[in-house]
Protein backbone atom coordinates (compact mmCIF):
# COMPACT_ATOMS: atom_id res chain seq x y z
CA UNK A 1 0.00 0.00 0.00
CA UNK A 2 1.29 3.42 -0.92
CA UNK A 3 0.09 6.80 0.26
CA UNK A 4 0.49 9.76 -2.12
CA UNK A 5 2.81 12.51 -0.89
CA UNK A 6 0.85 15.71 -0.10
CA UNK A 7 3.70 17.91 -1.37
CA UNK A 8 5.81 17.73 -4.54
CA UNK A 9 9.28 17.11 -3.15
CA UNK A 10 11.12 17.10 -6.48
CA UNK A 11 11.72 20.86 -6.35
CA UNK A 12 14.29 23.21 -4.78
CA UNK A 13 14.46 22.45 -1.08
CA UNK A 14 13.94 26.06 0.03
CA UNK A 15 10.61 26.15 -1.78
CA UNK A 16 9.43 22.83 -0.44
CA UNK A 17 10.36 23.37 3.21
CA UNK A 18 7.63 25.88 4.18
CA UNK A 19 5.03 23.72 2.44
CA UNK A 20 5.75 20.84 4.80
CA UNK A 21 4.47 22.94 7.69
CA UNK A 22 0.99 21.72 8.62
CA UNK A 23 1.47 18.24 7.17
CA UNK A 24 1.11 15.31 9.52
CA UNK A 25 3.86 12.71 9.85
CA UNK A 26 2.54 9.23 10.63
CA UNK A 27 4.56 6.22 11.81
CA UNK A 28 3.13 2.82 12.70
CA UNK A 29 5.55 0.57 14.57
CA UNK A 30 4.74 -2.62 16.39
CA UNK A 31 1.07 -2.03 15.64
CA UNK A 32 1.15 1.27 17.47
CA UNK A 33 0.67 4.60 15.73
CA UNK A 34 2.38 7.86 16.53
CA UNK A 35 1.82 11.03 14.56
CA UNK A 36 2.45 14.74 14.70
CA UNK A 37 1.78 17.91 12.78
CA UNK A 38 4.96 19.46 11.40
CA UNK A 39 5.42 22.94 12.92
CA UNK A 40 9.16 23.64 12.46
CA UNK A 41 11.65 22.69 9.73
CA UNK A 42 14.98 23.75 8.25
CA UNK A 43 16.08 23.50 4.61
CA UNK A 44 19.52 22.11 3.73
CA UNK A 45 20.75 22.29 0.15
CA UNK A 46 23.41 20.49 -1.79
CA UNK A 47 26.82 21.08 -3.33
CA UNK A 48 27.99 24.69 -3.38
CA UNK A 49 24.54 26.05 -2.59
CA UNK A 50 24.76 25.63 1.17
CA UNK A 51 27.97 25.26 3.17
CA UNK A 52 26.01 24.32 6.32
CA UNK A 53 24.62 21.18 4.70
CA UNK A 54 25.90 17.65 5.08
CA UNK A 55 25.77 17.51 1.28
CA UNK A 56 27.92 20.61 0.85
CA UNK A 57 31.02 18.77 -0.36
CA UNK A 58 30.25 15.41 -1.89
CA UNK A 59 28.49 12.11 -1.38
CA UNK A 60 29.66 10.05 1.61
CA UNK A 61 28.42 6.97 3.44
CA UNK A 62 26.47 9.18 5.84
CA UNK A 63 24.82 11.67 3.47
CA UNK A 64 24.15 9.43 0.48
CA UNK A 65 20.40 9.45 1.17
CA UNK A 66 20.35 13.20 0.51
CA UNK A 67 21.54 12.48 -3.02
CA UNK A 68 18.92 9.80 -3.58
CA UNK A 69 15.31 10.15 -4.69
CA UNK A 70 13.06 12.70 -2.93
CA UNK A 71 10.40 11.37 -0.59
CA UNK A 72 12.63 9.35 1.68
CA UNK A 73 13.66 9.73 5.29
CA UNK A 74 17.25 10.87 5.90
CA UNK A 75 18.40 10.00 9.40
CA UNK A 76 21.81 10.74 10.84
CA UNK A 77 23.57 10.25 14.16
CA UNK A 78 25.15 13.17 15.98
CA UNK A 79 26.75 14.25 19.26
CA UNK A 80 27.43 10.66 20.18
CA UNK A 81 23.88 9.94 21.29
CA UNK A 82 21.20 11.59 19.18
CA UNK A 83 19.51 10.97 15.85
CA UNK A 84 17.88 13.61 13.63
CA UNK A 85 15.39 13.08 10.80
CA UNK A 86 14.92 14.82 7.47
CA UNK A 87 12.63 14.62 4.45
CA UNK A 88 14.69 14.28 1.26
CA UNK A 89 13.74 16.96 -1.27
CA UNK A 90 15.59 18.44 -4.22
CA UNK A 91 15.31 19.27 -7.90
CA UNK A 92 16.57 16.73 -10.43
CA UNK A 93 20.33 16.18 -10.20
CA UNK A 94 20.65 18.00 -6.88
CA UNK A 95 20.88 16.94 -3.25
CA UNK A 96 18.95 18.27 -0.27
CA UNK A 97 16.88 17.53 2.77
CA UNK A 98 14.50 19.22 5.18
CA UNK A 99 15.29 18.77 8.86
CA UNK A 100 12.23 18.09 11.02
CA UNK A 101 12.75 20.21 14.13
CA UNK A 102 9.40 20.03 15.90
CA UNK A 103 6.00 18.37 15.75
CA UNK A 104 2.73 18.99 17.51
CA UNK A 105 1.83 15.48 18.70
CA UNK A 106 -1.52 14.27 17.33
CA UNK A 107 -1.58 10.52 18.01
CA UNK A 108 0.08 8.01 20.33
CA UNK A 109 1.03 10.56 22.97
CA UNK A 110 1.18 7.88 25.65
CA UNK A 111 3.68 5.87 23.64
CA UNK A 112 5.69 8.99 22.88
CA UNK A 113 5.80 9.79 26.57
CA UNK A 114 7.07 6.31 27.36
CA UNK A 115 9.76 6.50 24.69
CA UNK A 116 10.85 9.95 25.83
CA UNK A 117 10.54 9.54 29.56
CA UNK A 118 8.54 12.75 29.94
CA UNK A 119 4.82 13.47 30.07
CA UNK A 120 4.48 17.12 29.05
CA UNK A 121 3.01 17.10 25.50
CA UNK A 122 4.90 20.30 24.71
CA UNK A 123 8.23 18.56 25.25
CA UNK A 124 7.54 15.28 23.45
CA UNK A 125 8.56 16.42 19.96
CA UNK A 126 10.06 19.90 20.51
CA UNK A 127 13.50 19.33 19.00
CA UNK A 128 14.96 17.24 16.16
CA UNK A 129 16.38 14.49 18.38
CA UNK A 130 13.38 14.54 20.68
CA UNK A 131 10.88 13.91 17.90
CA UNK A 132 13.00 11.10 16.48
CA UNK A 133 12.87 9.35 19.83
CA UNK A 134 9.16 10.04 20.33
CA UNK A 135 8.30 8.72 16.86
CA UNK A 136 10.38 5.59 17.39
CA UNK A 137 12.87 6.24 14.59
CA UNK A 138 16.42 4.92 14.56
CA UNK A 139 19.46 4.40 12.39
CA UNK A 140 17.81 1.62 10.38
CA UNK A 141 15.03 3.98 9.26
CA UNK A 142 17.47 5.98 7.11
CA UNK A 143 16.39 5.81 3.48
CA UNK A 144 12.85 4.56 4.15
CA UNK A 145 10.15 5.68 1.74
CA UNK A 146 7.66 8.24 3.04
CA UNK A 147 4.72 6.98 0.99
CA UNK A 148 4.21 3.66 2.80
CA UNK A 149 1.25 2.65 4.90
CA UNK A 150 3.40 2.50 8.00
CA UNK A 151 5.31 5.70 7.30
CA UNK A 152 3.76 8.58 5.39
CA UNK A 153 2.69 12.20 5.26
CA UNK A 154 -0.87 13.50 5.32
CA UNK A 155 -1.98 16.91 4.11
CA UNK A 156 -3.13 19.22 6.88
CA UNK A 157 -4.22 22.81 7.45
CA UNK A 158 -1.49 25.25 6.43
CA UNK A 159 -0.21 27.59 9.16
CA UNK A 160 -1.96 30.93 9.43
CA UNK A 161 1.42 32.64 9.60
CA UNK A 162 4.94 31.38 8.85
CA UNK A 163 7.99 32.89 10.56
CA UNK A 164 11.51 32.44 9.21
CA UNK A 165 14.88 32.77 10.88
CA UNK A 166 18.47 31.49 10.81
CA UNK A 167 18.98 27.77 11.23
CA UNK A 168 19.86 26.51 14.68
CA UNK A 169 23.36 25.39 15.59
CA UNK A 170 25.11 25.82 12.24
CA UNK A 171 28.26 27.66 11.23
CA UNK A 172 29.45 28.80 7.82
CA UNK A 173 28.90 31.49 5.25
CA UNK A 174 25.28 30.43 4.78
CA UNK A 175 24.54 30.26 8.51
CA UNK A 176 22.67 33.56 8.54
CA UNK A 177 20.23 32.66 5.80
CA UNK A 178 16.57 32.50 6.85
CA UNK A 179 16.06 28.83 6.10
CA UNK A 180 14.32 27.91 9.33
CA UNK A 181 10.54 27.89 8.92
CA UNK A 182 8.08 27.86 11.81
CA UNK A 183 4.33 27.93 12.33
CA UNK A 184 4.18 31.30 14.12
CA UNK A 185 1.13 30.30 16.15
CA UNK A 186 2.35 26.91 17.34
CA UNK A 187 3.07 26.26 20.99
CA UNK A 188 5.23 23.26 20.14
CA UNK A 189 8.38 24.84 18.68
CA UNK A 190 11.85 23.72 19.74
CA UNK A 191 12.66 27.28 20.75
CA UNK A 192 11.42 30.81 20.07
CA UNK A 193 12.10 32.17 16.61
CA UNK A 194 13.66 35.46 15.67
Partner DNA sequence: CGAACGATGTTCT
Partner DNA sequence: GAACATCGTTCGG
6 and 23 in contact (C-beta within 8 Å)? yes
Distance between terminal CA atoms of the chain? Answer: 41
Per rule CB under 7 A, is residue 161 in the interface with DNA?
no
Residue closer to DNA by CB (options 82, 150) is: 82
Per rule CB under 7 A, is residue 189 in the interface with DNA?
no
Region 6-35 residues binding DNA, contact defined as CB under 7 A:
none
Per rule CB under 7 A, is residue 86 in the interface with DNA?
yes
Q: Is 113 exposed, middle or buried (0-12, 13-18, 19+ CB in 10 A)?
A: middle
How far is the CA of 95 from the CAs of 54, 67, 85, 119, 178, in angstroms? 10, 5, 16, 37, 19
Residue closer to DNA by CB (options 88, 163) is: 88
Per rule CB under 7 A, is residue 109 in the interface with DNA?
no
Angle between helix 128-135 and 109-116 (nearest 10)? 120
The distance of closest approach from Cβ of residue 73 to DNA in the complex, given in angstroms and rounded to an integer, is: 12
Binding site for DNA (CB under 7 A): 42, 44, 52-55, 57, 60-63, 66, 77-82, 84, 86, 97, 99, 116, 118, 123, 127-130, 167-171, 190
Amino acid sequence: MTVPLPVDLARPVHEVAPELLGCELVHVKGGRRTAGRIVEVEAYGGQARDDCSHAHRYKTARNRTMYGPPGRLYIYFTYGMHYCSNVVAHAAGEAGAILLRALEPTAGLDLMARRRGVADPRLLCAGPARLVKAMGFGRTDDGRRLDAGHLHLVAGPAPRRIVTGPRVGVKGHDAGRPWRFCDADSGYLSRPVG
